[in-house]
Structure 1
Amino acid sequence: MKKSTPLALASTGLGIGVLLAVAVPLSASAHVSVTPAATAAGSYTVLTFAVPHGCDGSATTTIAIDIPDEIASVTPTVNPNWDVSKVMTPLATPSTSAHGEAATERVGQVVYTAKTPLADGYRDTFALSLQLPADAAGTTLDFPVLQTCETGSTNWNEVPADGADEDSVEHPAPAITVTEAVATEADGDPVSAADTASSDASGSVADAGSGSGSGDDVLARVLGIGGLVVGAVGVVIAVVATRRARTA
């Protein structure tokens, strides 16, 4: 039987580390996601949905985003590569808008249809402007997304069990956590406690907002570094094996 050389051991260890460092960040970004991950109750926000790949290699043709019942109004951002439409849903109880107008329906779904199918391996984003409900602090709002492709589709609508993270399900629905509104900006918009704390530390609320939804990236980097550490350990083992071979 041919024995592994120290150089082969080193190469194998380093190769495993590199694979882990690359594969982990890729897997962490494989889901349809939404940012920011948390925002203050009652505040106006822009939610950005990211689609990082197709359906098993097939190009994406349509993205349909379901809007939670708690959201009264949505303004989709125009994407030049897609046609956008709003699907209206009747309100169980008619309401009055901030301008005094009677409302009998709301936006139940926003649909983006590709002018040219988005090829697998390419990423695009879709932004929705909306106001979060003032009484939703401490809750999670799910935004199921149906991704239709030239061949097949993927329904990102699974909700993890209480206490579990999104990796516990195969196709997690994009979701945001609504935080407490503890202060107001000059224009009267609520600011969450997390944003306030970050603003105090950095001297800028804008700087605090730029870090929203980065938890997955941080985890991916940590695990990726762990992969490189595994590779380094492989190199150390190879060096030790070489020294033992020489002394023998």
Structure 2
Amino acid sequence: MSRNTRTRRTILATAGVLGGAALALALPSMASAHVGVSPDELAAGDYGVLTFSFSHGCDESPTTALQITMPEGLTSVAPTVDSDWNIDVERGDDGLVSAVTYTAVTPVPNGLRGAVSMSVGLDESATDSLAFPVVQECVDGTTEWTQLAEEGEDPHELESPAPVLSIGAAATDGHADHGTTDASPESDPLAVALGAGGLVAGVAALIVAVLAYRRKA
């Protein structure tokens, strides 16, 4: 085998690894480019702490506020005190919290993770899912995360999906688990799967190139 041929095969192998690594890094970032809620599931009649997080601004403009609208099906809402955010609570005629606005003390730059949280209680008759429309305000511009998937539609294909909390069946003994769960948006199963796929593709390219090199050597 000529020296030039070996050089070309080495370049191809390197390109395969770099391409796979880039895909592994880029796809999770794209998949998590929205305002997410964690945990994403609670049981009807349960209590828990919901964390709404983001790692992007409005077209890269720093985030200044998040306005979260409360859906029907909640019995209580208590925003978590946080020195990084000023909190404004709106209530409906029934006295229940209808919306919470978190205003950043310092705008959150694009690319840095920001998060706000609140304790909520779910009605025992809550439906199978609750959507929390979010308006993200930035130094320049606003993004409304309010889209909901229609029946049969993939929510990951929506441009501006609203955070959605899935509701499981109420505890049979009548006593819901009041523990709290928290997770980052980077743990999104889709993001992890896409990232793993990109990494596997890179490794596979390297193996193919090495085997081809050995056969020709």
Give TM-score scaled by structure 2 length: 0.87
| CA deviation vs aligned residue, 1:41-83 (integer Å, no higher than 9, x gap) | 1112211111221111111111100001332431111110111
CA-atom RMSD, angstroms? 2.5
Q: Secondary structure at the match of 2:159?
A: coil
Larger Rg: 1
On the 8 A contact 1:72/1:107 being kept in 2, the answer is no
Deviation of the 1:166 alpha carbon: 2.2
- For 2:79, the equivalent position in structure 1 comes to 76
Deviation of the 1:245 alpha carbon: 4.1
Runs of at least 5 residues in structure 1 that lack an aligned partner in the other structure: 91-103, 192-204
Q: Secondary structure at the match of 1:231?
A: helix
Runs of 4+ deviating beyond 4 Å = 209-216
The one-letter code of the counterpart of 1:190 is: A
Percent sequence identity is 38
2:171 aligned with 1:182 = yes
Deviation of the 1:107 alpha carbon: 1.5
Query: Aligned partners of 1:211, 1:115: CA distance in 2, in Å?
Result: 23
| 1:1-248 paired onto structure 2 within 5 Å | 5-90=8-93, 104-137=94-127, 139-184=128-173, 189-191=175-177, 210=181, 217-246=188-217
Runs of at least 5 residues in structure 2 that lack an aligned partner in the other structure: none
Cα pair distance change 1:70/1:182, threshold 3 Å: closer
| CA deviation vs aligned residue, 1:161-183 (integer Å, no higher than 9, x gap) | 12333212011000101111134
Query: Aligned partners of 2:37, 2:85: CA distance in 1, in Å?
Result: 18
| CA deviation vs aligned residue, 1:135-165 (integer Å, no higher than 9, x gap) | 115x110000000000011100000112333
Query: Aligned partners of 2:186, 2:103: CA distance in 1, in Å?
Result: 30
On the 8 A contact 2:49/2:181 being kept in 1, the answer is no
